[in-house]
A and B are shown apart, each in its own frame.
Chain A
Amino acid sequence: MENPRTPLPAEALSHLDALYNLARWLVRDVVEAEDLVQETYLRAVRAAHQFQPGTNLRAWLFQILRNTFFTQYKRKGREPETLDPEVLDGMPHTSGTVSVDNRMAGPLDGTAGLDLTAALNRLPEEYRSVVLLADLEDFSMGEIAAILECPVGTVKSRLFRARGILKQLLRDYVE
């Protein structure tokens, strides 16, 4: 009995570095990032028949990586510690400037010299992923929404809030 398998487009390999980069930012561990990327390609190979030629392979691979991360790490509580996304989601938009709720002010105080890497790592995964996909990978809001499987408005909201947090964490750099 034979199983006709649809091969992944050869272009898939060209996205390896970008996928690995996001994986490193998500799991922050060299070995686990390698495993996450390899698992991503394994799943992509298995699901290659679902990929529509001519559509966005890069976004599709990122979506698989993010889903793999979510199922293998986040749901099992293995995600590195970050700011609490529920607290962040509950934050009101201020009318004038972006602000961070005082409930979170403790760990954010005195972070003038906090390194950019550390600041990005402080963001909850939902916010960090949006920032990295938008700024490092140049995905559009629509593509990010597809990757994260959420509405475009949510992506914009998360990016906006992430900017506000990063502004506080990196105030020596951005002010």
Chain B
Amino acid sequence: MDCSEAREHLCDLNRGRLEADAAEAVRAHMGQCADCAALLQVEVRIRALIRAQAPRYTAPPTLKARVQDLLAESASPKESVTHGAAAGTHGAAVGTRRTAGRPRWRDVFRGHTWTVGSLVSAVAVLLVVWAGWLWLARDPVSLLADRAVAEHVEYVKGTMTRPVADPPAVMREVKGQVGFAFEPIFPGDSQVQLVAGMVTDLRGKPAATFVYRDGSGRYTTLFLMPEAGIVIPDEGRMPIETFKPYHRVTSGRQLLLWKQRNLACLLVSDLDQAGMASMFLKIRKTA
């Protein structure tokens, strides 16, 4: 067996999916080839790291309910052409919310599918328009806060527990990707460590994003983004020493928003209000 053949089998060997003869042949090659043996170690370590630490996202309950509805509908014994065509039309519009029909409602009107289909479509359109109007009527800061908290919650679900080895290197990496400059940020201390740095998208704005974790496993996420287009409300300011960032609580998370050197800074945290204030000072005074 040569190196090329051996490397083809690295993944299967690591997962115990090789036939005994093939596995023995690969191992024999490894015993004679240090390069391939080193590659096997890379395979083993990276796979183990990914399986242990890569975040696994779980479907939100709302999505599960929608899929359940969809499957329940498909499991109905027979569907009218009208209904099937409507599903096809909806299916073409990825990026918009869809609501699957509920079988028990349809059963009530069985035999009147054309009328029911029209009625359901009309109600659906009205609901979508109404929901859209409510959504658009919300203030931009609320929308930003909702999105930031949703992102933060996803990070918390992940398994980012290890402090990054070199915070300045992570900052440089993020700075190189995000497309705007920012001053060095709080690198962490003995109480709270930087566990991740990445670029995210907050409502169309690229954001340099840094995730911190304290000794109790509580996370705080800092988003930095260009300030253009972000108006910070005068109401709801929270005095913290000489600073007055905008403060609110969204979905149980503390949130602070302020501007600093042409950037909007958004902090979302699992901490209580006092803990959040302390974290804010660490970040605010670093830059």
Contacts and interface: CB of A to CB of B under 8 A. Distances in A.
Contacts of B79: 2-3, 5
A48 to B, nearest CB: 7
B150 interface: yes
A111 B165 CA distance: 10
B53 to A, nearest CB: 5
Interface in B46-60: 46-47, 49-51, 53-60
B252 interface: no
A150 interface: no
Contacts of B164: 113-115
A163 B58 contact: no
Contacts, number: 199
Contacts of B244: none
B94 A39 contact: yes
Which label, helix, strand, loop or mixed, suits the secondary structure of the A interface?
helix
Interface string A95-114: 11110000000010011111
Interface string B76-91: 1011110010011011
Interface string A140-175: 110000000000010010011001101100101110
Contact of B50 (A29, A37, A112, A136): A136
Could you say which interface size class chain B belongs to?
Answer: 35 or more
Nearest to B88: A46
B126 interface: no
Nearest to B57: A24
A8 B73 CA distance: 10
B83 to A, nearest CB: 8
B264 interface: no
Contact of A140 (B17, B68, B88, B196): B17
Interface in B150-165: 150-151, 154, 158, 160, 164-165
Interface string B30-53: 000001001100110111011101
Contact of A117 (B55, B76, B87, B177): B55
Given A25-B57, A37-B67, A41-B67, 8 more contacts: A2-B79, A17-B58, A30-B60, A45-B87, A95-B35, A113-B166, A160-B10, A174-B45
Interface of A: 1-5, 7-8, 10, 12-13, 16-17, 19-21, 24-25, 28-30, 32-39, 41-43, 45-46, 48, 68, 72, 80, 93, 95-98, 107, 110-118, 120-121, 131-132, 134-136, 138, 140-141, 153, 156, 159-160, 163-164, 166-167, 170, 172-174
